[in-house]
Chains A and B, each alone.
Chain A
Amino acid sequence: SAVISQKPSRDICQRGTSLTIQCQVDSQVTMMFWYRQQPGQSLTLIATANQGSEATYESGFVIDKFPISRPNLTFSTLTVSNMSPEDSSIYLCRAGGSYNEQFFGPGTRLTVL
């Protein structure tokens, strides 16, 4: 099984600033996924990140707001830009080689004041 870590685990940020969340996997994976879980809500896919290519964003999410990097097969970052209180959520990364192996990071709890 893969072990996924995220940094930071939580942060409190001011409106208008940006935060970069890191996701590290202990094994090489082709696809990494970034989700948002707003308070009391289910998980919503933000984007899919493949190594060596541009991230693919879901409807309602754009690269300028959520730029993603995927420099290698074990690491990805998600930046939440120009934050507003509506961005307060838990952000989770997910990685896995196939549907038989689906693992989530512990999440980053973001509060925007």
Chain B
Amino acid sequence: AQSVAQPEDQVNVAEGNPLTVKCTYSVSGNPYLFWYVQYPNRGLQFLLKYITGDNLVKGSYGFEAEFNKSQTSFHLKKPSALVSDSALYFCAVRDMNYGGSQGNLIFGKGTKLSVKP
């Protein structure tokens, strides 16, 4: 079965320190992987995606993620955290049951990132 796992419910980081939000996935075939951020009382905002190409993907707001096929992981990283990065982060993978170039995304349960001054 296809799935996305975010093993940490919450990640606490001091401002200025590097942050990592973990994500592992289980799908058949080549995965399409995504990270979204949700600020309080807001919808989801797209951060970055991996479809093909370089394993290190750079996205919005200084975030990046590294696709690791052998470990089936797609961890989100940022070299220096900001208080304003505090939000809920969702990892997602393309639902392989949908054909073509459009379709459903399967989401992880989310990780709350808290950055303290």
- Flag whether B67 is at the interface (Cβ < 8 A): no
> Which B66-117 residues have C-beta < 8 A from chain A?
90, 94, 101-105, 107-110
A100 adjacent to chain B (CB < 8 Å): yes
CB distance from B104 to the nearest CB of A (A): 5
Known: A33-B104, A100-B49. A43 touches B43 (CB 8 A): no
- Interchain CB contact under 8 A, B101 and A99: yes
From B41, B46, B102, B108, A42 is in contact (CB under 8 Å) with: B108
Residues on the B chain within 8 Å of A20, using CB: none
Asked if B34 is at the interface (CB within 8 A of a chain A CB), the reply is yes
| Chain B residues, CB < 8 A from A104 | 36, 43-46
Closest-CB distance, A24 to chain B (whole angstroms)? 13
Cβ contact within 8 Å between B51 and A107? no
B interface secondary structure, majority: loop
On chain A, the residues within 8 Å of B41 by CB distance are 109
- Rounded to whole Å, the gap between the CB of A1 and the closest CB of chain B is 8
Contact of B102 among A30, A92, A105, A106 (CB under 8 A): A30
B103–chain A nearest beta-carbon distance, Å: 7
Shortest beta-carbon distance from A33 to chain B in Å = 7
Q: Report the interface size for chain B: residues with CB under 8 A from the other chain.
A: 22
Distance (whole angstroms) from the CB of B78 to the closest CB of chain A? 21
* A97 interface residue per 8 A CB criterion: yes
Known contacts A41-B109, A42-B109, A42-B110; decide if A98 and B42 are in contact (CB<8 Å). no
Find the B residue at minimum CB distance from A44. Answer: B107
Task: Give chain A nearest CB distance to B1 CB in angstroms.
Answer: 13
Judged by a CB distance under 8 angstroms, whether A45 is at the interface is yes
Measured between alpha carbons, how far is A5 from B43 in the docked complex, in Å?
A: 10
- Most A CB contacts (10 A, CB to CB) among B36, B41, B108 go to B41
Taking a contact as CB atoms under 8 Å apart, the answer to whether B102 and A97 are in contact is yes
Chain A contacts to B: CB under 8 angstroms: 6, 30-31, 33, 41-43, 45, 48, 92, 94, 96-100, 102-107, 109
Binding site for A on B (CB under 8 A): 32, 34, 36, 41-46, 49, 51, 90, 94, 101-105, 107-110
